[in-house]
Amino acid sequence: MSNFADRKSPMGRSLRHLWRLVALLAFAVTFDDAVPSQQDSWAEPRAAMVRTIQTHAAFLPEAAGTDGISTTVLDVIGKVPRHQFVPEGVEGQAYADAPLPIGYGQTISQPFIVALMTHLIRTSPDSTVLEIGTGSGYQAAVLSPLVKAVCTIEIVPGLGETAIRRLKELRYDNVQTKVGDGYFGWPECGPFDGILVTAAAGHVPPPLVKQLKPGGRMLVPVGSVFGPQFLTLVEKTRGGQITTRQLLPVSFVPLTRESR
Ligand code: SAH
């Protein structure tokens, strides 16, 4: 005679396997509840960083606008995992409101500046935006959910290739990245509703002005490496006229040029 629990019967073996599976699943669920996920452990530092950005925004000079930074932009900053855009070993500082080294003598920009520039170009869901200076890819990731398409150019191949891989892995699918000299822009990707230059230029690059749509806005830090730099707003009116305005003093790494 045999019953369900008979160790040797096929039915008994299946039942024991089933119980093992149930026990394993129960353990997995309990374990998952007990240990906060890695994602969650960054949520509070990221929220604190957003609060710091809001505080800084309250002290902006009038030329940069007195309406603070939009909640749409702050919501995105509150979601993008900046710790995944910094080199291994510095993740712990990723949510300080500060620039951080990313290798090759370059830096990931200060989150406040990323938020401010994103706010000031006035993105819309159907806009196409160009970024010069991909660096880590963080600024492109912040733009990604706010616009239709992001085109970004990085001159240092090692940084550009890492950013391409990272943005793909993190599924920022509307970002196109290429390695090259951003001074010349990317005509095939444009024309652009907005352009962000995230390295300091000696002058506003004329090819970028040309690739800006009528009604478009460009932000570019203008100045020298050791001298003063000003974040400059370049606007192209609907009629095609260009106006420029210095908004606030900033400190960016220099826009370098490809040796040709
Ligand atoms: N936006 C980046 C940080 C920018 S740091 C981020 O979110 O991480 C400035 C970047 O501009 C550096 O990576 C630097 O290599 C790049 N750069 C400098 N000159 C450039 C040029 N002519 N064309 C494209 N990228 C340039």
Mean pLDDT of each 10-residue bin along the chain, 260 residues long: 45 52 45 49 95 91 82 97 96 96 96 97 97 98 98 98 98 98 98 98 98 98 90 96 96 83
Asked if residue 113 lies in contact with residue 89, where contact means CB atoms within 8 angstroms, the answer is no
Asked if residue 160 lies in contact with residue 102, where contact means CB atoms within 8 angstroms, the answer is no
142 lines ligand 1 (CB under 6 A): no
Residue 160, SS3 per DSSP: helix
Q: What is the per-residue pLDDT for 242?
A: 98
- What's the gap in Å between 239 CA and the centre of ligand 1? 31
Cα–Cα–Cα angle for 142, 162, 122, nearest 5°?
A: 20
Strand ranges (DSSP E) for 119-252?
128-132, 149-154, 175-179, 192-197, 212-223, 229-236, 242-250
Q: What is the per-residue pLDDT for 45?
A: 96
- What's the gap in Å between 210 CA and the centre of ligand 1? 20
What is the pTM assigned to this prediction?
0.86
Please give the helix or strand (H or E) that residue 54 lies within, else none.
Answer: helix 43-57
Q: Which residue among the candidates 70, 109, 124, 127 is catalytic per the annotation?
A: 109
Asked if residue 193 lies in contact with residue 170, where contact means CB atoms within 8 angstroms, the answer is no
175 lines ligand 1 (CB under 6 A): no
Q: What is the per-residue pLDDT for 14?
A: 54
Distance CA 101, CA 10 (A): 61
Catalytic annotation present for 124: no
Q: What is the per-residue pLDDT for 34?
A: 43
- What's the gap in Å between 252 CA and the centre of ligand 1? 9
138 lines ligand 1 (CB under 6 A): yes
Q: What is the per-residue pLDDT for 214?
A: 97
- What's the gap in Å between 130 CA and the centre of ligand 1? 12
Question: 96: how many CB neighbours lie within 10 A of its CB?
Answer: 16
Ligand 1 pocket test target in 151, 156, 170 with most atoms within 8 Å of CB: 156
Q: Which string of b and e fits 60-74 if b means at least 16 CB within 10 Å? A: beeebeeebbbeebb
